[in-house]
């Protein structure tokens, strides 16, 4: 039955054309934006996840910048520490040369003073963007290293860079060391050197500061190639017998080194006195160095004076300790710099992975979109033709009334 009031064919053709036009508009939007999920209406769940991940990518970009800044800062500190090590090594060469009696120790001391001033200059200049990690004034520094997301929320992680004190200032002499009964001990009060003869050689040193110990004061001893040290605590300084506590602390530190055939005895009858006995088969060198609490990590460099024979001997023990201090600092900075570099590389790869993940969720398949666009354009043209034919159908009814 034909009707001029209800054109079913036109209605069907119109609905089909509307659907085709809607699909065509969606495909064109997909092509123009490059995204299959361009807004929350397209797919609310996927859109929400992608936006969270995009926010994390922005956060990791900031973390990458933080790591770059931190790596540069640590690299400056490491280079300064290595330079200080090189300068101290040169200084050691001068000190070794001063051990001979037929050299001009005054000129050698002048060279040593020049090297000391150069070390001070290097430490003072080792800053990046105003932050100096080697002069003992900056404190520890936290470098933002990661953004950690979990079910509990978001937290940040840091890489802590410990400062290293290579300052040469703040040294105050205290005349801590005095010889016991040993005739071979040379001391200037803040350093000493003695040689323990093999086969039972015994020598003594008294470590006393007249009750004026302060928390943070440090005494270091080198026995052969090993080092033991003791730092005075607040309780030690407040004690009525601080000399005894410092001596006992050093005794324990030396014994912990496990040096074969060496015994260290504490004489309670003489406050602060330690007696060393070498029962080995070769002579053993022992040196000591005092550093007060206000001194920089290389503050004892101020005590180096090779203008005399005993001073030259004591200087050798001092510079060995200073070299080890600078080496430890360079190694610490090198280790943390490597960690920062590794973390920076990881953050870069992680950011790329996140971007790839976001892309796989929301990016459009352009090849598929291109093929679909062409198909929909054909469907649109056919739909228009079909609607046109359906609209002309009522015209045929007129022929029945001619």
Any idea where the domains of the chain sit in the sequence?
47-168+330-354, 177-294
Tens digits of per-residue pLDDT, 62-113? 899 999 999 999 999 999 999 999 999 999 999 999 988 888 999 999 999 9
Residue 1 banded pLDDT, cuts 50, 70, 90: low
184: pLDDT strictly greater than 60: no
Residue 186 banded pLDDT, cuts 50, 70, 90: low
CATH-assigned architecture of domain 177-294? 2-Layer Sandwich (3.30)
pLDDT score for 188: 63
pLDDT score for 185: 55
Higher pLDDT, 133 or 367: 133
Residue 187 banded pLDDT, cuts 50, 70, 90: low
Fold of the CATH domain 47-168+330-354: f41 fragment of flagellin, N-terminal domain (1.20.1330)
pLDDT score for 330: 95
Q: Mean pLDDT throughout 160-185?
A: 80
Q: Mean pLDDT throughout 232-236?
A: 92
pLDDT score for 183: 47
Largest CA distance in the chain: 147
Q: Which two tokens stand for residue 85?
A: 């090590």
321: pLDDT strictly greater than 50: yes
- The pLDDT > 90 percentage for the chain reads 32
């Amino acid at each position: 039955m034909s009707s001029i009031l209800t054109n079913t064919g036109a209605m069907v053709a119109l609905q089909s054309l509307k659907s085709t036009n809607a699909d065509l508009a969606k495909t064109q939007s997909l092509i123009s934006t490059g995204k299959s999920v361009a807004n929350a209406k397209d797919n609310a769940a996927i859109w929400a996840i992608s936006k969270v991940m995009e926010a994390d990518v922005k956060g990791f970009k900031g973390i990458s910048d933080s790591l770059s800044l931190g790596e540069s800062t640590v690299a400056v500190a490491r280079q300064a520490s290595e330079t200080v090590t090189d300068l101290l090594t040169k200084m050691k060469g001068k000190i070794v040369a001063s051990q001979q009696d037929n050299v001009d120790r005054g000129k050698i001391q002048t060279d040593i003073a020049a090297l000391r001033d150069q070390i001070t200059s290097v430490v003072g200049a080792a800053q990046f963007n105003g932050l100096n990690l080697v002069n003992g004034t900056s404190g520890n520094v936290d470098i933002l290293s990661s953004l950690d997301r979990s079910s509990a929320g978001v937290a940040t992680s840091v890489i802590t860079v410990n400062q290293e004190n290579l300052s040469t200032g703040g040294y105050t002499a205290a005349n801590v060391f005095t010889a016991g009964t040993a005739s071979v001990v040379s001391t200037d009060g803040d350093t000493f050197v003695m040689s323990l003869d093999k086969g039972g050689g015994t020598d003594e040193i008294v470590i006393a500061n007249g009750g004026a110990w302060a928390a943070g004061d440090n005494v270091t001893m080198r026995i052969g190639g090993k080092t033991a040290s003791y730092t005075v605590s607040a309780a030690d300084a407040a004690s009525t017998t601080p000399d005894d506590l410092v001596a006992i602390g050093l005794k324990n530190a030396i014994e912990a080194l496990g040096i074969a055939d060496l015994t260290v005895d504490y004489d309670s009858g003489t406050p602060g006195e330690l007696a060393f006995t070498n029962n080995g088969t070769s002579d053993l060198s022992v040196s000591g160095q005092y550093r007060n609490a206000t001194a920089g990590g290389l503050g004892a460099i101020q005590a180096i004076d090779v203008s005399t024979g005993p001073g030259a001997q004591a200087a050798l023990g001092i510079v060995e300790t200073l070299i080890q201090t600078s080496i430890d600092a360079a190694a610490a900075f090198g280790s943390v710099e490597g960690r920062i570099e590794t973390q920076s590389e990881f953050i870069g790869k992680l950011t790329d992975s996140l971007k790839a993940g976001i892309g796989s969720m929301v990016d459009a398949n352009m090849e598929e979109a291109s093929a679909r666009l062409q198909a929909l354009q054909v469907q649109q043209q056919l739909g228009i033709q079909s609607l046109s034919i359906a609209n002309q159908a009522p015209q045929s009814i007129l022929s029945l009334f001619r």
